[in-house]
Amino acid sequence: MMSCLWMCLSLLYLLQHSVSSDQVVSLICPKNLEVSYGETVTVNCSIEWKGNRNCTGREFVWKYRDDNIECKNASTKYICDWDRRSYVFLNIFDVNNNTSVSVEIVSDCGLDVSPFITVNVSGELLLASKSLFSVQL
């Protein structure tokens, strides 16, 4: 049911974009984020509406390159939420790999898909110097 919704909406999106580049909603996301191994990263994208249109978000999905991220139900690995209007975020807990995520939203005024956001896990060196730093404080 859900996947049909997304497939149909994606088709609609492609159709809409091949016809016109006149986009009402845009996701503004960081290009890349750095996080220390084992820590939490928050990917927070802002939502902008062309001409301050008063639109409401309907659905969103966060994805890895191949998979949707199951973050809407309480999970020990992910949390995601939005206000349907100005932002959509994803928390990844205990980050242990370099990865990329992307978010897609559907609103009553149109759709957008963000570029991939790189999550860059810094090595043990940074982790070590960081704990040294906090010891000194």
Q: Going residue by residue from 115 to 134, which x/- string records binding to ligand NAG, judged by CB under 6 A?
A: ---x-xx-x-----------
- 37: buried, middle or exposed (CB in 10 Å: 19+, 13-18, 0-12)? middle
Pairing relation of β-strands 99-107 and 57-63? antiparallel
Using alpha carbons only, give the angle 129, 131, 132 rounded to the nearest 5 degrees. 60
Nearest distance in Å: CB 6, ligand NAG: 12
Residue from 30, 72, 75, 130 that binds ligand NAG (CB under 6 A)? 72
Nearest distance in Å: CB 18, ligand NAG: 29
99 binds ligand NAG (CB under 6 A): yes
Q: Going residue by residue from 24 to 53, which x/- string records binding to ligand NAG, judged by CB under 6 A?
A: --------x----x----x-x-x-------
Whichever of 13 and 87 has its CB closer to ligand NAG, that residue is 87
Residue 85, phi-psi category: left (phi > 0), alpha (psi -120 to 50), beta (remainder): alpha
Whichever of 82 and 111 has its CB closer to ligand NAG, that residue is 82
Residue type, 90: L
Six-digit token pair at 69?
A: 């991220």
